[in-house]
Amino acid sequence: MATATTAGAKEVPKIVWNERQQKFETEDREAYLNYQMRDGGKVMDIVHTFVPNSKRGLGLASHLCVSAFTHAKSHSMSVVPTCSYVSDTFLPRNSSWNAVVYTEDAKSNM
């Protein structure tokens, strides 16, 4: 959701869920996160995150991940972080989302 904030603060980009193409993307569709559904829709496998060079350093990849993880959590899904950005950068910086990450233990509770 694009929102105006105090002077000098960054705007939060609007992230759109494109269910048909299995992606979360910025309104301009230049930055996106691709996923695949697994286990009958109970698991979201995040397979790729892309931000063009012209938009790197703005936190877009993180915003895309937050949107995907929020969606998964609100729909009682687990997330498989196949994408290296998600597993190596986003999750170590945002450990609160580890509770949504798929584990074999979570599968046995389903």
CATH number of the domain where residue 82 is located: 3.40.630.30
Average pLDDT, the chain: 89
pLDDT for position 82: 98
Is 65 catalytic? The answer is: no
Burial class, 4, CB count within 10 angstroms (exposed 0-12 / middle 13-18 / buried 19+): exposed
Q: What Å distances lie between residue 104 and 36, 42, 101, CA to CA?
A: 18, 13, 10
Instruction: Report the domain count for the chain.
Output: 1
pLDDT bucket at 3, cuts 50 / 70 / 90: very low
- Least confident stretch, 72-76, 81-85, 103-107: 103-107
pLDDT in tens, 17-55: 999 999 999 999 999 999 999 999 999 999 999 999 999
From 64, 65, 83, 91, the catalytic residue:
83
pLDDT for position 10: 63
Assigned domain for 5 exists:
no
Assigned domain for 10 exists:
no
Domain that holds residue 58: 15-108
Residue 73 phi, psi (nearest 5): -65, -45
Residue 45 phi, psi (nearest 5): -95, 110
pLDDT in tens, 47-59: 999 999 999 999 9
The mean pLDDT value for 53-81 works out to 97
pLDDT bucket at 13, cuts 50 / 70 / 90: confident
